[in-house]
C-alpha cells in the first residue's frame, strides 16, 4: 500500500454511511487527463481503425465541481502529472467514429468486493457522474476492481471514469484493462496503468497519477475490441478505500 501520513487530507475522511439523496444532473462540458498509448498483453483482436474524415464530435455531460476540504499534498507522489489547463480545453469534445455511444450505460457491474461498504454497483453505469452522497460506491481497502459486461464485443474508442470528485484525491494504481475473457486471464489489453512500482501486481505502468476532478479521466481505447472492461485501484490520498461514481465506455459494435 502506498498511503503515507503526509498525503492524507486535512479536510476529514469520506462519510462511512450512505446518505440517501438524488444524484444531481451534469453541468458542464470539459474533460481532464492525457490519453496515453495502450500497452497490450495478448490482445484478443487487432484494434479497429477509422479514417480521420469519418470522425465526429461527441460532447459528454460533465457534473458540476464539488471540491470541499483541504487540497491534497502531493510532494511525495513521484509520478503525478502537472496540471495543464490548455489540455483540458483541447478536449471539450471527443473525436470519435460516427455512431459512437456510451455502451456501458445500464450494463451489469461486478467487483472484487461484491458487498460494497457504501452504495450499489449499478451506480457505476447509471449514466450520472454527480459526486453527491448516494451517487457513488465505496469498496473495501486494498487493491480492488470493478468490471463492466458490455454484453457483446465492441470497438472501444474512449473510456471516461470518475472515482470521487467531492474532495481532492489521487487514486493509486489505477489500471484500466479490456478483454473478451470475463476472468481476464487471456486476451487482456491494458489501456491505462499508473502503478509505477507494480505494487498491485498487474504490471509496472508508465501513465501519470492525477488529481480527481469533476471532469473525470479520459482514456483512449484506440478501437480495441472487447466485451469486458475492468478498472482497478488501490486506495487514495484521503484513505484506503476505493470509490467509483461513474464509468462511461464509448464504442461502436465490433466489425
pLDDT tens by residue, the chain, 255 residues:
444 334 433 333 333 333 334 576 555 544 333 333 344 444 556 788 876 678 999 999 999 888 766 666 666 888 898 877 777 666 668 999 999 999 999 999 999 999 999 999 999 999 999 989 999 999 999 999 999 999 999 999 999 999 998 888 999 999 999 999 999 999 999 999 999 999 999 999 999 999 898 889 999 999 999 999 999 999 999 899 999 999 999 999 998
| CA distances in angstroms from 87 to 34, 35, 92, 131, listed in the order given | 7, 10, 9, 23
Angstrom distance (rounded) from CA 233 to CA 231: 7
Please state the pTM of the whole predicted model.
0.83
Task: Please provide residue 25's backbone torsions phi and psi, each rounded to the nearest 5 degrees.
Answer: -95, 155
Residue partners of 81: CB distance under 8 A and separation at least 6: 34, 208, 209, 210
Distance from the Cα of residue 214 to its chain's centroid: 12
Closest CA to 247 of 174, 141, 194, 172: 174
Q: What element of type H or E holds 176?
A: strand 175-179
CB-based contact 207:32 (threshold 8 Å):
no
Angstrom distance (rounded) from CA 97 to CA 181: 25
Residue partners of 5: CB distance under 8 A and separation at least 6: none
Amino acid at each position: 500500500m502506498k498511503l503515507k501520513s503526509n498525503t492524507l487530507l486535512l479536510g476529514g475522511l469520506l462519510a462511512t454511511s450512505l446518505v440517501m439523496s438524488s444524484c444531481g444532473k451534469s453541468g458542464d462540458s470539459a474533460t481532464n487527463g492525457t490519453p496515453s498509448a495502450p500497452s497490450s498483453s495478448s490482445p484478443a483482436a487487432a484494434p479497429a481503425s477509422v479514417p480521420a474524415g469519418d470522425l465526429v464530435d461527441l460532447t459528454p455531460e460533465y457534473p458540476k465541481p464539488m471540491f470541499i476540504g483541504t487540497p491534497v499534498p502531493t510532494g511525495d507522489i513521484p509520478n503525478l502529472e502537472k496540471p495543464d489547463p490548455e489540455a483540458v480545453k483541447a478536449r471539450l469534445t471527443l473525436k470519435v467514429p460516427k455512431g459512437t455511444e456510451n455502451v456501458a450505460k445500464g450494463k451489469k457491474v461486478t467487483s472484487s468486493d461484491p458487498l460494497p461498504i457504501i452504495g450499489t454497483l449499478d451506480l457505476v453505469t447509471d449514466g450520472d457522474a454527480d459526486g453527491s452522497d448516494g451517487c457513488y460506491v465505496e469498496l473495501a481497502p486494498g487493491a480492488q476492481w470493478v468490471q463492466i459486461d458490455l454484453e457483446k464485443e465492441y470497438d472501444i474508442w474512449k473510456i471516461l471514469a470518475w472515482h470521487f470528485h467531492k474532495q481532492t484525491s489521487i487514486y493509486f494504481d489505477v489500471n484500466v484493462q479490456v478483454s473478451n475473457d470475463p476472468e481476464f486471464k487471456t486476451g487482456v489489453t491494458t489501456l491505462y496503468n499508473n502503478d509505477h512500482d507494480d505494487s498491485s501486481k498487474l504490471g509496472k505502468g508508465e501513465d501519470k497519477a492525477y488529481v480527481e476532478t469533476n471532469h473525470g479521466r479520459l482514456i483512449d481505447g484506440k478501437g480495441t475490441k472487447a466485451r469486458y472492461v475492468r478498472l482497478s485501484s488501490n486506495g487514495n490520498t484521503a484513505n484506503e478505500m476505493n470509490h467509483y461514481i461513474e464509468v462511461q465506455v464509448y464504442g461502436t459494435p465490433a466489425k
